[in-house]
Amino acid sequence: MTVTTASRQHPARERFQAFPATSPVRRLRLRAELPGGTDRGRLERALAALAVTYPDLLGPGFTVESVTADRPGSDAVLAAFEEDAAPAPRALVVGTGDAVRLALVLDRTLVDHRTAGLLLERLAALFDDGSPGEYEPAPDGAEEVRLPSEMLSEVRTELADVPLDVLLPRRAHAPAASRFSRFSFALPQDALAAVDRLCRERRLTREAVLVAAYQALLHRYSRQGRFLLGVELDRPDAAARRGATADLVPLAAEFTRASTLGTAAPAAADALDRSARRPAVPLPVLAELLGRPLSAAAPGLFGTVFALRPPLPRPVGTAAWQWEESPEAAVDCDLELTVHLDGDASEGRACFRYRAGVFDDGVAEQLARHYVRLLEAGAREPDTPLHRLPMLDEDDRGLLLDRWSGAADPWQPVEPLYRTVEHHARRTPGAPAVAAADAELSYGELNGRANRLARRLAELGVGHGDVVALCADRSAAWLTAFLAVHKLGAIVFPVDPRTPPLRLAAAFETITPRLLVHAPGLELPETSVPALPLDGVSAGAGEAGPEAEADPDHEVSLDDLAYIMLTSGSTGTPKAVFGQHRVIAHIGAGFAGLTRLTPDERASWMTPTGFGTTIAELSQPLVAGGCLVAVPGDLLTAPDALAAWLLEQRIAVTFAVTQVGSALQELPWPADTPLRILMMGGEKVHQWGPADLPFEVAVGYGCHEALFVTSPLHPWERRVTAATATPQDRLSPPPIGRPNPGVRLQILGDEGELMSPGAVGEIWFESPEGALGYWRDPALTADKYRPDPFGPPGSRHYRTGDLGRYRPDGLLEHHGRVDDMVKIRGCRVELGEVESALLVHPRVREAAVVPVRAGMGEATLVACVVLDGAVDPAELRGHLTARLPDYMVPAAFVPVDELPRTINKKVDRAALPPHDWAARRVRAQYRAPAEGLESTIAAVWAEVLGEERFGADDSFLDMGGTSLHAGRLLTRLRGVVGQQISLRDIFLFPTPAGLAQLLASRTPEPEAAPLPRLTRRQRR
């Protein structure tokens, strides 16, 4: 069986036909500069003769304009001519007095770079001999393109589940239309000499090694083991044809931790050879096979392309013209690497062409440096694993390890926090220390109560190194107990009072407290741990008087253990981190230093007592000598009431988890509010606050393993908050700041290698606020806290499981969790990116996107959204379709009153989506299929997509259909319809009604053998 295309043109010409005729991508823009004495009239006649000679390439509409301009103005004239939307081909001759400048705009559906070179050589010859030109018939190379179905099936199987997109350092929200730019660079003689040695030793071609090195570069940047690269390929019959002959073929990259350039280059050579031997597949057909049909909105197929092209003609003869492409040459992808090699020349030229709105300035220059280094290193050491090759240079390492991280630490602690409170009590005993519903205490009162309670705890047997569980809500009593435990050298184990008893009992099996101090009336687990209620104890348990209130003389070191804290465990069993007094003292000094909190200011205490941020919240004002004010629990779910409380209590600095902080920043605030800084954290913040807020809104980053790691407030003069963010900043979600002083932070790849600036990798850090490890779990501690190869001897860094990247200005962006990466249709999807795009919609307040398995087991996305009023799911789908690739658009949008939260106030993704999510798929109003063909098609589609019913107007694409589903549909439909049905048919007519109408208009054909069933290859 074969499939025959409808046109007789070479498939290479279809590469650019999905682009509008006015698109700059359709135009090949060339320039030349001629000596000032050049005869302009003769040049114009030569151009006219060229059109006579090659009407199939230039056509009857070819125009030649001639103008005069001064030298400075000629640049603008040429640029305006090239950017004009007038159809190509056309030419412009500009006389400047000292030179003649020529611009040619050609049509890339007719001419590629090889053919353009022939045209330029012919133009020079026509100019030299003054000939009027003579029509040269084109070779008769046109024929119907016959594509064997076996070959198409082989291509589809070979490329199944290989992601089309490569994760490069793109801007988060690039404009839909953007200008094009380029960065040119040389391939040094030493690098090409090493490549040639490798080619001789391994019997490879330069092209294969150059392509493999680019694949290796993409692998190092993206951390992807599999992806598709578009490669521009000139076929053996190119010389016998005229016009565009360079095909764009897909090349699947396969990398493992053991991959080398010595293994990648032969694989690339084999793939290129297979592509060259196969019949050329038109790009629209290839796009359908890969499940991404071309359209006006998405006319390109690949995110990045490699092209090995001959250089433009060199100056020869009397027409000694130096040709070059326009500086803003447009490309049909986001990023194109073009390499020009002139025969066996010892040095080559290359350039990156790219959409300037997609990539930050400097990315192309960085990619070029890294490509050259990786190419030369890999060619010299072809058997060294790619992740060990030296791609980064000293400037990169200095940027990543010194300039962007590891700033000097000005907050070295000198004493435990409780000692600082004792000093405040002696110096300013009447200054307010804590205000809560149960009591308002000065520093003298707070310290005296803590001393009395410490003596009571000692009477109950609590001593140095013992663990005391502290289970109560935010209160003066809780803070008193916290300080009292530390005065004895004991360890605080803070527990949220809402912790389920079974979870608490499980924690007590690992962490055995000497005493449980708890709020009255709390439901306690069945345990042998002695319990002490807080009622009355904090108000003055034990003997009153100077002796009872005197500071204990117990010696406690900064290196003594101070806390054990529960954190979430991926196995369902609670795990706990533990840390020293120096951590608490440092976080207090650092937080107060960053927020510039003064002794006469008040800071809120908003997070639950079992949450790590509680230690940061309470230590900040206590170090500064300010007042800690506990937020009443009922206000956390009422943003308006919480804002009123913050104003009433004259709060200067507040920390809120993302959900609460995001609501606060959207409220109206008086211009004279005492609030100066709202810090947010806990989850990724997707939206900036209004720029006109009367206070700063900053997004920080930390975890239980290290309480406060990054901040956008450091340094203050370069802070990035809602008030200082630029319009460019606001195109992306708020960054999480810079590493705090004393923090050494790295973005690493899967093999522990430093990622390039701008590339996404896993966040690792060492911090003066870091925990020592996991309580009684040395295996987990050894896995997560590893020797730091980038730090001083003996240092360790912590593996967070969070993804991040550096912006060009050294600010960090959070990119979700490592385990938030899912694959949809073989493409890696970061759920946070979909959520960020959803939150741009003005009616979406919160969003969580989760993967589910549907139909025949393929993953699909479901968006759970908290809305301001009713919003049609089709509107949300359209909103995302304009911003994201189709595979990133959820199949269903489920409105919920609120997102479920874990005990640590993070979105509980395990509880999503609701069980009835499938009923929320975006679909047309149900219309029953008509009897006959419509019903048959609808029944087959419902079976394949796992739907109970499929309406006549339901779209296969909107219901989550993919190219894999389409392959199964073809097999089933051909058996019952009796006609040949192609992938193009399904994607162009995605409803039962539309496809039935198409098939009814066709003459039935004898049934042909179906395409072989698509099977998934085993991953290595």
Q: In a 3-state reduction of DSSP, which class is residue 371?
A: helix
| Overall residue count recorded for the chain in this entry | 1020
Rounded CA separation 721/145 (Å): 58
Q: How confident is the model at residue 341 (pLDDT cuts 50, 70, 90)?
A: confident
Q: Is the dihedral of CA 190, 191, 192, 193 positive or negative?
A: positive
Nearest of 954, 839, 859, 967 to residue 899 by alpha carbon: 839
Residue 708 pLDDT > 90: no
Nearest of 323, 318, 324, 325 to residue 37 by alpha carbon: 318
Which range of 115-129, 130-144, 253-267 scores highest in mean pLDDT? It is 253-267
- Give 274's contacts (C-beta < 8 A, 6+ positions apart): none
H helix intervals, 460-529: 476-487, 501-510
Residue 938 to residues 930, 931, 932: CA-CA distances in angstroms? 10, 10, 10
Determine the pLDDT at residue 135.
Answer: 67
Kindly report which listed range (795-804, 938-947, 996-1005) carries the lowest average pLDDT score: 996-1005
Asked if the bond preceding 900 is cis, omega within 30° of 0, the reply is no
Where is pLDDT greater, at 156 or 396?
A: 396
Which class for 220: exposed (0-12), middle (13-18), buried (19 or more C-beta within 10 A)? buried
- Give 750's contacts (C-beta < 8 A, 6+ positions apart): 223, 257, 387, 762
Rounded CA separation 909/847 (Å): 11
Determine the pLDDT at residue 821.
Answer: 64
Rounded CA separation 561/582 (Å): 9
Determine the pLDDT at residue 1015.
Answer: 36
Q: Go through the domains of the chain in sequence order and give each one's CATH number.
A: 25-129 (3.30.559.10), 179-312+331-393 (3.30.559.30), 683-818 (2.30.38.10), 821-919 (3.30.300.30), 933-999 (1.10.1200.10)
Residue 918, φ and ψ in degrees, nearest 5: -60, -25
Residue 1018 pLDDT > 50: no
E strands, 807-857, in order:
812-817, 821-824, 827-830, 844-854
Q: Is the dihedral of CA 765, 766, 768, 771 positive or negative?
A: positive
Determine the pLDDT at residue 588.
Answer: 96
Determine the pLDDT at residue 355.
Answer: 87
160-173 as b/e: b if 16+ CB within 10 A: bbbbbbbbbbbbeb
Answer yes or no: are the C-beta atoms of 820 and 830 closer than 8 Å. yes
Where is pLDDT greater, at 660 or 983?
A: 660
Q: In a 3-state reduction of DSSP, which class is residue 147?
A: strand
Query: What are the tokens at 984?
Result: 């193009």
What residue has token string 């297979």? 274
Residue 36 pLDDT > 50: yes
Task: Report the DSSP pairing between strands 467-471 and 515-518.
Answer: parallel
Query: What are the tokens at 979?
Result: 């006609």
Rounded CA separation 922/520 (Å): 51
Q: How confident is the model at residue 6 (pLDDT cuts 50, 70, 90)?
A: very low
Q: What is the pLDDT of residues 381-409, one digit of tens each?
A: 999 999 999 999 999 999 999 999 988 99
Where is pLDDT greater, at 243 or 878?
A: 878
CA 492 vs. chain centroid, Å, equals 39
Q: In a 3-state reduction of DSSP, which class is residue 806?
A: strand
Determine the pLDDT at residue 572.
Answer: 45
Residue 539 pLDDT > 50: no
Nearest of 248, 280, 327, 424 to residue 79 by alpha carbon: 327
Task: Report the DSSP pairing between strands 90-95 and 812-817.
Answer: unpaired
Query: What are the tokens at 678?
Result: 């709202």
Task: Report the DSSP pairing between strands 844-854 and 827-830.
Answer: unpaired
Q: What is the pLDDT of residues 188-220, one digit of tens each?
A: 999 999 999 999 999 999 999 999 999 999 999
Residue 810 to residues 98, 417, 554, 727, 1008: CA-CA distances in angstroms? 46, 32, 45, 18, 60
Answer yes or no: are the C-beta atoms of 863 and 847 closer than 8 Å. yes
Task: Report the DSSP pairing between strands 744-748 and 627-630.
Answer: unpaired
Determine the pLDDT at residue 1016.
Answer: 36
State the SS3 of 970-1013.
Answer: HHHHHHHHCCCCCHHHHHHCCCHHHHHHHHHCCCCCCCCCCCCC
Nearest of 82, 81, 89, 87 to residue 21 by alpha carbon: 87
Where is pLDDT greater, at 237 or 208?
A: 208
Determine the pLDDT at residue 318.
Answer: 54
pLDDT, mean of residues 785-801: 94
- Which of the 8 DSSP states describes residue 89? P
Determine the pLDDT at residue 146.
Answer: 65
Query: What are the tokens at 998?
Result: 């198409």
State the SS3 of 872-899.
Answer: CHHHHHHHHHCCCCHHHCCCEEEECCCC
Rounded CA separation 563/706 (Å): 12
pLDDT, mean of residues 602-609: 94
Answer yes or no: are the C-beta atoms of 876 and 863 closer than 8 Å. yes
Determine the pLDDT at residue 648.
Answer: 97
Determine the pLDDT at residue 959.
Answer: 65
Q: How confident is the model at residue 334 (pLDDT cuts 50, 70, 90)?
A: confident
Residue 1006 pLDDT > 50: no
Answer yes or no: are the C-beta atoms of 724 and 754 closer than 8 Å. no
Determine the pLDDT at residue 968.
Answer: 66
Mean pLDDT of the residues in the chain:
84
Residue 754 pairs in a beta bridge with 748
Residue 933, number of CB atoms within 10 A of its CB: 21
Residue 1020 pLDDT > 50: no
What residue has token string 């003005």? 842
